[in-house]
């Protein structure tokens, strides 16, 4: 795992703006950095900050950078579509073709709709944000519950979630699973329930955080990609040594802040 | 008005446009409903984008990109975002350009006389599904249509080459690692187990953008060179066999410190000779040569051939490492093997065992050198040792899902049972159609 190599020249550790890091294994994976999960982060009970050395500013910086890396289209570069195409044939078609929305708008709409469906059943009084995990039933899950999934969804909630999809139990006339199979130890009722469950929302389909007992978070030099054993005091970014420290200050320090 | 019920729609068109409509490329082919056995040769791979050059002001629609000789600063517009069709203005233009009319080469069809089998990513927002359905019937006016999650149709590949069965495979776990993301899809007898679908938001796009960011930071500003960085990524990336080897390679590619410079290991570090888009359209990698690299830095002759070289060291393996360690960039997710186990944890034990014995990997990232080995070795550690673990990469991981869809479309009884005709849509509407495709309406 990451070496911590301290430079023999001790004066550099006192250089303003820099500190050596003894890797204490803080785990950013425990912190909600997904910008979609702001509400979940806000809804989490206190005490989180003490476990972590990542400031809110650093978390924002990481989240912004990931959003940038995930970008499909650059809004600054508009590439016009050649105009010799057919005209819209119906009102519906016209409306759909004219949308200039990005995927995040559609996903935000989906989440907002789910909130409307679920919120009144949990807390009819206040507008408390609902943890994301409640949208994914975890009762079948034999993995140890991760902190964010510690409270399994009550059955009423699952039913509430499925109202978003289709209230009726689904029957499949097209693909009838052969029951005389090697999977005979799975009961037909259990199997049918499993196969008829509606799709998860996009957000609910995301993989969970890495296991808490897994390998420690690795930290890399922001400039050259080698192990990052020093930390910038201004922005918290890691670097490998003095050379990269200079490069970092000249380029990316506070870029995502 | 057609007879009631879909049984009346006997006279379906005899051919089907099979579209695996990916964010990066469309996989497409016209399949006769009575085709003996479609092959990957029936599949065309078409860039799903409109590109515009800021240098020569030319616009390239989809397959026209093959004519492009200068990818410098080429800007892309992609109608598919995160795997879903978002921008119908661009997608419509691309479909019309590629499939409609009689002019032009390639696949041409008259939608009114053609069925459409269209694949989608799992967990598509319902509003986007509705947009898609309305465009297919109201704008393109296909005769009949079916939309489903693409990898489901991989169940219709024969489990053994000699098998003639049209029954879907019983347990199939598809890992789809593509441009937008990497999804894990347990499929039982041709039905997706929706509750267990999991998504890791690491795909080819993220990796190309990451390499672009790193190269721009460390060498030249290449932020506008998406095409080139994608080409470089495909040429030089490899997945480390283990976390241990990753650490070793990181040492071998480190420049050292002031006063303690190290020699870069030429077995890993390469120099990528960049195309100049005058003499050359594509670049190539060669072993790292520090002397030539120095020459580049300000000492190039004004006359004669210039050469721009991008050295690549830890970028070669640190970029695809994101599939196995997303936390390397702070992304709050387990690596792919952990995501697979998370998905399987939803299933009863018997199904889990069946899935582990039949894992098929599709999508372009599976072609990265070392990917399959790392995936299998990490899974082997996580899976109880008495369980059979069988992980294979599809013969053609890019066209595999299309081929599954084409095989499905070539069997008229299967196809008929799922297609919805335009007349049915006109009669019953988009909401009914959405439920029907979700399996809830007859
Ligand atoms: Zn460094
Ligand atoms: Zn800094």
Tokens of A152: 């399994």
Close Cβ partners of B275 (under 8 Å, ≥ 6 residues apart): B71, B228, B281, B282, B283
What does the pLDDT profile of chain A (257 residues) look like in tens digits? 333 333 333 333 334 455 665 444 433 333 333 444 434 333 334 333 333 467 888 889 999 999 999 999 987 778 999 877 789 999 999 999 999 999 999 999 999 999 888 765 444 444 434 344 335 543 333 333 333 333 333 333 333 333 333 333 333 333 344 444 456 678 888 899 999 999 999 999 999 999 888 888 899 999 999 999 999 888 889 999 999 999 999 888 877 66
Contacts of A224 in chain B (CB under 8 A): 218, 254-255, 314
Nearest CA in chain B to A192: B193
CB spacing of B314 vs A226 below 8 angstroms: yes
Tokens of B29: 């082919």
The answer for A 213-232 residues in CB contact with B (under 8 A) is 214-215, 217-218, 220, 223-227
CB spacing of B52 vs A217 below 8 angstroms: no
Ligand of minimum distance to the alpha carbon of A255: 2
Nearest CA in chain B to A239: B257
Nearest-angstrom CA–CA distance, B357 and B188: 13
Query: N- to C-terminal Cα distance for chain A?
Result: 28
What does the pLDDT profile of chain B (442 residues) look like in tens digits? 444 444 444 578 999 999 999 999 999 999 998 867 899 999 999 999 999 998 889 999 999 999 999 999 999 999 999 999 999 999 999 999 999 987 767 899 999 999 999 999 999 999 999 999 999 999 999 999 999 999 999 999 887 766 666 688 999 999 999 999 999 999 999 999 999 999 999 999 999 999 999 999 999 899 999 999 999 999 999 999 999 999 999 999 999 988 888 999 999 999 999 999 988 999 999 999 887 766 555 555 556 667 889 999 999 999 999 999 999 999 999 999 999 999 999 999 999 999 999 999 999 999 999 999 999 999 999 999 999 999 999 999 999 999 999 999 999 999 999 999 999 999 999 999 999 999 876 6
CB spacing of A197 vs B50 below 8 angstroms: no
CA distances from B384 to B245, B352, B379, B381 (A): 24, 11, 10, 8
Residue where the block lists tokens 């013969």 = B395
CB spacing of B338 vs A211 below 8 angstroms: yes
The answer for A 83-142 residues in CB contact with B (under 8 A) is 85-86, 88-90, 92-93, 96-103, 106-107, 109-110, 136-137, 140-142
CB spacing of B96 vs A86 below 8 angstroms: yes
Give the SS3 label for residue A238.
Answer: strand
Backbone angles phi, psi at B31, to 5 degrees: -115, 120
The answer for B 288-327 residues in CB contact with A (under 8 A) is 313-315, 318, 325, 327
The number of angstroms, rounded, from the C-alpha of B320 to the middle of its chain's C-alpha atoms is: 15
Q: Is B346 on the interface with A (CB under 8 A)?
A: yes
pLDDT tens for each residue of B200-258: 999 999 999 999 999 999 998 999 999 999 999 999 999 999 999 999 999 999 999 88
Ligand of minimum distance to the alpha carbon of A228: 1
Contacts of A206 in chain B (CB under 8 A): 198-199, 201, 333
Q: Collect contacts of A77-83 with beta carbons under 8 A, ≥24 apart.
A: A77/B75, A77/B77, A78/B77, A79/B50, A79/B51, A79/B52, A79/B59, A79/B75, A79/B76, A79/B77, A80/B52, A80/B59, A81/B50, A81/B61, A81/B77, A81/B89, A81/B90, A81/B93, A82/B50, A82/B59, A82/B61, A82/B93
Neighbours of ion ligand 2 (CB under 5 A): A 232, 234-235, 237, 253
Q: Is B347 on the interface with A (CB under 8 A)?
A: yes
Q: Is A186 on the interface with B (CB under 8 A)?
A: yes
Cα of A240 from ligand 1 centre, angstroms: 4
CB spacing of B333 vs A197 below 8 angstroms: no
Q: Is B51 on the interface with A (CB under 8 A)?
A: yes
CA dihedral sign of residues A108, A114, A120, A122:
negative
Residue B56's nearest CA partner among B74, B44, B34 is: B74
**Closest approach of chain A CAs to the CA of B304, in angstroms?**
32
Of B80, B123, B339, the CB nearest to A202: B123
Contacts of B442 in chain A (CB under 8 A): 173
Do residues B151 and B401 lie in contact, with contact meaning Cβ atoms separated by under 8 Å? yes
pLDDT of residue B385: 93
**Closest approach of chain B CAs to the CA of A21, in angstroms?**
17
Q: What domains can you pick out in chain B, each with its CATH number?
A: 15-159+397-438 (3.30.420.40), 204-320 (no CATH)
CB spacing of A96 vs B88 below 8 angstroms: yes
State the complex-level ipTM.
0.93
Give the SS3 label for residue B404.
Answer: helix
């Amino acid at each position: 795992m990451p070496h911590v190599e301290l430079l023999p020249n001790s004066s550099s550790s006192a250089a303003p703006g820099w500190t050596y890091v003894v890797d204490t294994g803080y785990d950013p994976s425990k912190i909600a950095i997904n910008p979609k999960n702001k509400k979940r982060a806000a809804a989490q009970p206190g005490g989180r900050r003490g476990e972590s050395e990542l400031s809110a500013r650093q978390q924002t910086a990481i989240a912004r950078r990931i959003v940038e890396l995930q970008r499909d289209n650059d809004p600054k570069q508009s590439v016009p579509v050649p105009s010799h195409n057919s005209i819209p044939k119906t009102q519906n078609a016209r409306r759909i073709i004219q949308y200039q929305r990005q995927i995040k708008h559609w996903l935000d709409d989906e989440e907002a709709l789910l909130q409307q469906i679920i919120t009144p059943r949990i807390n009819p009084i206040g507008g408390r944000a609902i943890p994301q995990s409640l949208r994914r039933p975890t009762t079948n899950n034999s993995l140890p519950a991760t902190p964010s999934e510690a409270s399994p969804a009550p059955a009423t909630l699952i039913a509430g979630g499925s109202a978003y999809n289709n209230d009726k139990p689904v029957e499949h006339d097209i693909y009838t699973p052969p029951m005389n199979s090697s999977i005979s130890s799975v009961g037909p009722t259990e199997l049918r329930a499993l196969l008829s469950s509606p799709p998860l929302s996009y957000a609910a389909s995301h993989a969970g955080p890495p296991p808490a007992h897994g390998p420690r978070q690795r930290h890399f030099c922001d400039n050259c990609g080698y192990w990052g054993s020093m930390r910038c005091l201004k922005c918290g970014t890691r670097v490998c040594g003095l050379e990269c420290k200079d490069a970092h200050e000249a380029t990316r320090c506070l870029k995502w802040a | 008005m057609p007879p009631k019920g879909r049984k009346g729609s006997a006279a379906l068109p005899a051919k089907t446009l099979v579209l695996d409509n990916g964010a990066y490329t469309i996989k497409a082919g016209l399949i006769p409903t009575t085709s003996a056995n479609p092959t990957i040769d029936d599949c065309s791979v078409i860039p799903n984008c409109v590109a515009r050059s800021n240098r020569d002001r030319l616009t390239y629609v989809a397959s026209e990109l093959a004519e492009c000789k200068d990818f410098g600063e080429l800007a892309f517009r992609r109608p598919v975002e995160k795997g879903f069709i978002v921008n119908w203005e661009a997608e419509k233009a691309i479909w019309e350009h590629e499939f409609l009319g009689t002019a032009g080469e390639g696949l041409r069809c008259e939608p009114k006389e053609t069925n459409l089998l269209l694949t989608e990513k799992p967990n598509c927002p319902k509003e986007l599904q509705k947009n898609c359905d309305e465009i297919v019937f109201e704008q393109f006016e296909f005769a009949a249509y079916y939309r489903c999650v693409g990898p489901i149709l991989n169940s219709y590949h024969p489990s053994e080459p000699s098998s003639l069965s049209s029954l879907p495979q019983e347990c199939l776990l598809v890992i789809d690692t593509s441009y937008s993301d990497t999804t894990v899809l347990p499929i039982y007898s041709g039905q997706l187990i929706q509750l267990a679908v999991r998504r890791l938001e690491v795909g080819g796009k993220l990796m190309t953008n990451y390499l672009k960011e790193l190269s721009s930071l460390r060498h030249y500003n290449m932020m506008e060179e998406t095409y080139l960085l994608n080409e470089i990524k495909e040429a030089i990336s490899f997945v480390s066999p283990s976390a241990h080897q990753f650490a070793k390679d990181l040492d071998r590619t480190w420049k050292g410190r002031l006063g303690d410079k190290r020699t870069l290991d030429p077995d890993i570090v390469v120099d990528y000779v960049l195309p100049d888009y005058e003499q050359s359209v594509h670049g190539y990698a060669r072993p790292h040569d520090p002397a030539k690299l120095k020459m580049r830095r300000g000492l190039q002759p004004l006359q004669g051939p210039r050469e721009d070289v991008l050295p690549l060291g830890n970028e070669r393996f640190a970029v695809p490492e994101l599939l196995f360690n997303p936390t390397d960039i702070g992304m709050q997710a387990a690596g792919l093997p952990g995501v697979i186990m998370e998905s399987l944890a939803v299933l009863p034990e018997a199904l889990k065992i069946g899935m582990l014995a039949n894992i098929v990997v599709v999508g372009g990232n599976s072609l990265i050198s070392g990917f399959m080995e790392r995936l299998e070795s990490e899974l082997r550690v996580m899976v109880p040792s008495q369980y059979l673990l069988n992980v294979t990469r599809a013969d053609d991981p890019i066209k595999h899902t299309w081929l599954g869809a084409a095989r499905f479309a070539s069997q008229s009884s299967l196809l008929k049972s799922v297609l919805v005709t335009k007349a049915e849509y006109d009669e019953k509407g988009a909401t009914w159609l959405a439920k029907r495709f979700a399996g809830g309406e007859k």
